[in-house]
Amino acid sequence: MASISCDAAGRRRIIFKTADGRRRALHLGEFPQKAAEQIKTKVEAILAAQLARAAVDAETARWVGSVQDDLATKLANVGLIDAREAPVGAFLGTFLHDYIAKRTDVKPNTLKTIHQARRLLVEHFGPRKPMRDITRADIKDWLVFLQRPRKRRNSKEAKGYAQATIATHLKKARTMFEYAAAARLIDTNPFHKAVKMPKQTNKSREVMVSREIIDKVIDATGDTEWKLVIALARFGGLRCPSEVKALRWQWIDWEGDRFTVFSPKKEHLGDAAWRIVPIFPELRPYLQAAWDEADVGAVYVIARHRGPNLYTGIGRIVQRAGFQKWERLVQNMRGTRETELAESFPVHVVAAWLGNTPKIAAAHYLQVTEEHMQRASRARQTTRATAVSGRMESQQENGSVKNTGNLAHSTHTAATDYPRQESNL
């Protein structure tokens, strides 16, 4: 007989004794109880066959042949079945599982996008698809699969992934197949030259979060820390929640009117993870208020709101202020700040303050506003008026204009007051 045990983290394992009396454990990981019970039944059937030195029944044999490679490997490791013969290369599902298990060097959000790309690859090709059989044509078919409309959670209409999302999935999948090529599991990476990578920018989601809106949002909460969280994102241009939660009081230089920011996103880049940002006049009142209320010996600037729901909390405050949550909630606050600062300072200076590059700023943060359009229109009108005025003054100096009154009247006079005559005098 076999039994199922579960640890505090929800990882299940099936404990059993082999025909020779040894105690073994089949580790399933985070597995539903019902599915674990089904596997337990099959394990008991295999153990009974081994004890009787007979072949397993037909149903159990079919089950063994249908399980995915990772479970088949676990069954073989504890002596329940024979190890499968690996094909030339590897199965897609097995390779992706092993690849992700090795990626201990990436941030949680990056790992999340890798898992999403893995899920979509397996959903389209199946886990038993040999890696070497995937061609450039198959990759093009996968792109069409990503563009196909599908039902989403909390959405009544079916639609395909956005271009920027597709670009992210393609990049992650291409990287995984590049690793497979480097490990000589496949000859070449089928993603090369198969599809043109879409842009990862989506300008339609850009929103300018005006000072009037953000003032009302800040006023909608009476919590000093929440006010500072929003101010750091909107007026300081910090990445939220990562840089906001990492900020420490010891990094605030009150006399120098500046503070140091650490970016967990760039932690692997060494010194590039640190930058110095001015204490902007719009930010100082909220920073000072939080300092006045901080406990003695406090380490972090944001001490109470350090949970995983900081982003959600900002959304609730926005709604409490009477606004609908705009797209890219905190990214557009940061983008608005970078656009404002670029009006007064060189773009390389602004990029250094916000921790990106001029190229990234132009692609993902800097926005073209209605004020830019109106200012350009006013400048064009002023330029035209100046040009016409200069031309009239020149004509006056040459004696070709008699009436120096209204500009429109002067233009009319220059064109109509002289009698017709031969062009060659």
Q: How confident is the model at residue 109 (pLDDT cuts 50, 70, 90)?
A: confident
Looking at the fold, whether 264 and 361 belong to one and the same domain comes out as yes
Looking at the fold, whether 73 and 96 belong to one and the same domain comes out as no
Check residues 147 and 385 and name the one with the higher pLDDT.
Answer: 147
- What digits encode the pLDDT tens for the residues 15-65? 998 888 889 999 888 888 888 899 999 999 999 988 888 888 999 999 988
Looking at the fold, whether 259 and 234 belong to one and the same domain comes out as yes
CA distances from 346 to 201, 226, 371, 419 (A): 23, 31, 19, 56
Tell which of 17, 42, 77 closes a domain. 77
Tell which of 53, 77, 101 closes a domain. 77
Looking at the fold, whether 216 and 362 belong to one and the same domain comes out as yes
Burial of 72 (0-12, 13-18, 19+ CB in 10 A): buried
Looking at the fold, whether 104 and 46 belong to one and the same domain comes out as no
Looking at the fold, whether 360 and 382 belong to one and the same domain comes out as no
Looking at the fold, whether 332 and 243 belong to one and the same domain comes out as yes
Q: Is the pLDDT of residue 139 over 80?
A: yes
Examine residue 422 and state whether it is found in any structural domain, yes or no: no
Looking at the fold, whether 156 and 110 belong to one and the same domain comes out as yes
**Residue range 285-306: average pLDDT?**
94
Looking at the fold, whether 316 and 389 belong to one and the same domain comes out as no
Cα–Cα distance for residue pair 46/257, rounded to 1 Å: 72
| CATH classification of the domain holding 97 | 1.10.150.130
pLDDT on residue 206:
81
CA distances from 344 to 332, 339, 374 (A): 19, 10, 18
* Number of domains the chain is built from: 4
Three-state SS string over the chain comes to: CEEEEECCCCEEEEEEECCCCCEEEEEEEECCHHHHHHHHHHHHHHHHHHHCCCCCCHHHHHHHHHCCHHHHHHHHHCCCCCCCCCCCCCEHHHHHHHHHHHCCCCCHHHHHHHHHHHHHHHHHHCCCCEHHHCCHHHHHHHHHHHHCCECCCCCCCCECCCHHHHHHHHHHHHHHHHHHHHCCCCCCCCCCCCCCCCCCCCHHHCCCCCHHHHHHHHHCCCCHHHHHHHHHHHCCCCCCCHHHHHCEHHHEECCCCEEEEECHHHHHHHHHHEEEEECCCCCHHHHHHHHHHCCCCCCECCCCCCCCCHHHHHHHHHHHCCCCCCCCHHHHHHHHHHHHHHCCCCHHHHHHHHCCCHHHHHHHHCCCCHHHHHHHHHHHHHHHHHHHHHHHHHHHHCCCCCCCCCHHHHHHHHHHCCCCCCCCC
Examine residue 360 and state whether it is found in any structural domain, yes or no: yes
Residue range(s) defining the domain that contains residue 349: 211-368
Q: How confident is the model at residue 410 (pLDDT cuts 50, 70, 90)?
A: very low
Looking at the fold, whether 51 and 144 belong to one and the same domain comes out as no
What value does the CA radius of gyration of the chain take, rounded to a whole number of Å?
Answer: 33
pLDDT on residue 411:
40
pLDDT on residue 178:
93
**Residue range 188-205: average pLDDT?**
76
pLDDT on residue 409:
40
- What digits encode the pLDDT tens for the residues 206-258? 888 999 999 999 999 999 999 999 999 999 999 999 999 999 999 999 999 99
How much is the mean pLDDT over the chain? 83
Looking at the fold, whether 359 and 376 belong to one and the same domain comes out as no
Q: How confident is the model at residue 402 (pLDDT cuts 50, 70, 90)?
A: very low
pLDDT on residue 229:
96
Q: How confident is the model at residue 418 (pLDDT cuts 50, 70, 90)?
A: very low
Q: Is the pLDDT of residue 175 over 90?
A: yes
Q: Is the pLDDT of residue 383 over 80?
A: no
Tell which of 146, 180, 200 closes a domain. 200
Examine residue 12 and state whether it is found in any structural domain, yes or no: yes
pLDDT on residue 90:
80
Examine residue 85 and state whether it is found in any structural domain, yes or no: no
Examine residue 206 and state whether it is found in any structural domain, yes or no: no
Q: How confident is the model at residue 405 (pLDDT cuts 50, 70, 90)?
A: very low
Examine residue 421 and state whether it is found in any structural domain, yes or no: no
Examine residue 130 and state whether it is found in any structural domain, yes or no: yes
| CATH classification of the domain holding 251 | 1.10.443.10
Looking at the fold, whether 309 and 224 belong to one and the same domain comes out as yes
Give percent of the chain with pLDDT exceeding 70: 80
Q: Is the pLDDT of residue 9 over 70?
A: yes
Examine residue 104 and state whether it is found in any structural domain, yes or no: yes
pLDDT on residue 309:
84
Structure tokens at 307: 């949970």
Least confident of 49-58, 127-136, 154-163, 406-415: 406-415
pLDDT on residue 417:
47
